[in-house]
Chain A
Amino acid sequence: MGKLDKLKIALLSVASKLGMGAAKAPDEHTEEKEAAREPAPAEKSIRRHAFAVSSIGHSHKKEGTLCQDWAETAEGDGFLIIAVSDGHGSRNFVRSDRGSRFACRAALDAMHDFASEIRAEHIVGSRRANEVVSMLCKNIIMRWRDAVNEDVKACPFTEDEVKNVSDKYRESYLAGEQAEHAYGATLIALLITEEYMLAIRNGDGECVTVSRRGHMDKPIPWNDKCEASVVTSMCDRSAIDEFRFFYTTDLPAAAFIGTDGVDNSYPRTEELFELYANICTEAVDNGAENMKSELEAFLPVMTEKGSGDDVSIAAILDSELLNGVRDELMEQRMRVERTHELRRLNRRLVRLGDQESDEASALKDEIAQLEAAIRADREKARELAAAAEAEKAAAVKAEWDSEIWDDVKKR
């Protein structure tokens, strides 16, 4: 029995201990998994929709290098999964384009198994939540390493392929050692079932959610090891420990994940939020397919004007909830527009210098009005954030209380 099978059993065993049915043998489970991955009936998937888009980075295109990003979606019985991965660009990561593909597939498969077995009560408010999610991350890493090893076996490294690799790694790769380094990539994956949402991240890139009240957030805690161009990776020895995650039963109206090429294209978080708010309103107003086409046409512009890096976005949109928050999302756009306008006016005022003039005086009035509106925006945003936090805290407390009460009853 391979390590992966042992892990699967361990995961199922955890599920079993947590009150799910008996743990299943891997073979038995695989058959069920295949059945579960059959396309869900159309009526089941109408409300939620998943999509993934990628575009090669502007600078990569100019340099003639491959797109090292990968983005993919998967669907199961009552759940949707999305994953994006960014293969590292330095010369030693010669197969990172494959590494990102393997990372997405490993995440989609592992999360598929996870969603089939794990219910909300096993993670949200559970004392064993960390253990369960950690098991999932371990599962993903093992699958990824298996895929890498199989790939190296099928296509050993060639002299030509590693000619630009540093001495340290060249010899290792040719000897078939430390191969996973050549496939180094980041990963963000997100699962939404009928009961809960779970998002995990190893490395950089950003996850943004739109709550059912229209509040936007970056829910996954940041790993402090990811600063400047240094990121944690699927190929790290400590890869399992580098994952950060977030889960909730408060299902979002929309959940986005994007590689760092996307968030690096926008200097301010509010601008990144505006991008995602506009994707949502476009989907509501013109349909998901039109929105996706427009987004695909926009990504090359984004990378050219912005980061220059590969860009990938995947999302799960809940059309019903999005309809309910459309006005709030439009307001998000207006808020950003007001801040842009304020910058433009300030710039004009600065260029007028210290001279007193009618133009300067009119500008100052306009700026004062805009500043007041922006202050009101910020106050409203703070109130929304505080309400969201309070709800989140109350939900967690209720679940904890319920679990503690269960413990007491058992005793």
Chain B
Amino acid sequence: MPAFGTSIPRKVMTLFLLVDCSGSMAVSGNIGKVNGAIEEMIPLLRNISDENADAEIRIGVLAFSSGCRWIGGGVQDLDHFQWTDMKASGLTDMGAAFRELENRLSRKEFMDGAAGNYAPVIILLSDGEPTDDYRSGLAVLQHNNWYREAQKIAIAVDKASIQTLSEFTGNIETVLSCNGQKEDLKHLIVNVATVSSKMQSRSQTAGTKVDEKEIADQIRRQQEDKKKQVISELAHMIKERGEASVDGNTAAEIESYLAKVGVPSGNDLEPTYKGLVAHLKSLGGSTGTPAGGANGTAAASASGKTKAKVADPFADDNDW
């Protein structure tokens, strides 16, 4: 291959994470889950970057609470990226984060050398209402050409304002909701970051972007597939044991299975086989609920177009 120097031509994709670190994120350990997710996500992103020699992924994490700050000082190469856990305290100055992002989305700042490459991916994660004038910050950001072209996905945790987050993404279909169940939030963050990075960094031409709805749909499909698989495994396990009721050990196993997909468990789980099956069936059918719905699934299309019914692992159990 002809070459001019040691630098191999390649494209750049920058992933921005805007993370709500307000005091409420400490509730239910959400901030810990986010920290864990980012730490877990880095090697996965490195793998995506390694698998595709023609693309390089960079990452910038902007934490906002009372004001905002870039973790590690700004956008960093994945090779150098060292994660420092964020702490939750203070207010939800989302507008300040929007203004800061607008300042940095410029060739004179973070987009130097990355101009015209893959459109950036911006993921916004929040669990509550902004406490500052977010609209004026968003209005400034909306004039930024990088923002306009970016893939924007939001993750609504617990009681986050879906309305606010959809104003940021420009579309309710690209707001993914999560009730903060155990591993669910972590999985969702990792999924959104890796799927969007993978899809965007493999798109053919620099300067173009993958439709974020396509990314949200793919994440939904992955979540549903995973849920389907877990439910199927669970059903198989229960059938194998042939138990009419769930004893303590089985209940713990069920809980562990369900936690893999963030399905509510515990108090509302009926300790009977029939009740459990009914519950699982209802969960299978409820995937793809609109943003704000339970169970950590992706927000569904407002038109219902993307609502997919999970294949029923209990199809033979109609007599139940």
Residues of A within 8 A of B (CB): 59, 62, 204, 222, 224, 226-230, 260, 263-269, 271-272, 274-275, 277-279, 282, 294-295, 297-298, 301-303, 305-309, 333, 336-337, 340, 343, 346-347, 350
Contact = CB atoms under 8 A, between A and B. Distances in A.
A347 B119 CA distance: 25
A230 B79 contact: no
A230 to B, nearest CB: 5
A87 B119 CA distance: 21
A298 B54 CA distance: 16
A303 B205 CA distance: 10
Given A226-B107, A297-B2, A263 B115 contact: yes
Contacts of A343: 77, 79-80
Given A228-B145, A260-B115, A269-B112, A306 B4 contact: no
A333 B5 contact: yes
Given A265-B9, A305-B8, A336-B7, A346 B115 contact: no
Given A340-B6, A340-B7, 4 more contacts: A62-B204, A271-B5, A298-B4, A305-B53
Given A222-B108, A227-B107, A305-B54, A264 B117 contact: yes
B183 interface: no
B1 interface: yes
A268 B117 CA distance: 12
6 contacts: A222-B107, A224-B106, A224-B108, A266-B10, A266-B113, A347-B79
B111 interface: yes
B148 interface: yes
Nearest to B115: A264
Grouping DSSP codes into helix (H, G, I), strand (E, B) and loop, the B interface class, with mixed when no group exceeds half, is loop
Given A264-B115, A268-B113, A307-B206, A274 B5 contact: yes
Contacts of B16: none
A215 B145 CA distance: 32
A307 B6 contact: no
Interface in B1-38: 1-12
Contacts of A303: 9
Contacts of B2: 294, 297-298, 301
Contacts of B77: 343
Nearest to B12: A267
Contact of B207 (A266, A278, A294, A309): A309
Nearest to A229: B207
B5 to A, nearest CB: 4
B80 to A, nearest CB: 6
B195 interface: no
A229 B79 CA distance: 27
B217 interface: no
A346 B79 contact: yes
Contacts of B9: 265-266, 301-303, 305-307
A306 B7 contact: no
B127 interface: no
Contacts of B6: 274, 333, 336-337, 340
B88 to A, nearest CB: 25
Given A222-B107, A227-B106, A229-B207, A346 B80 contact: yes
Interface in B87-114: 105-108, 111-114
Given A228-B145, A228-B149, A229-B149, A350 B5 contact: no
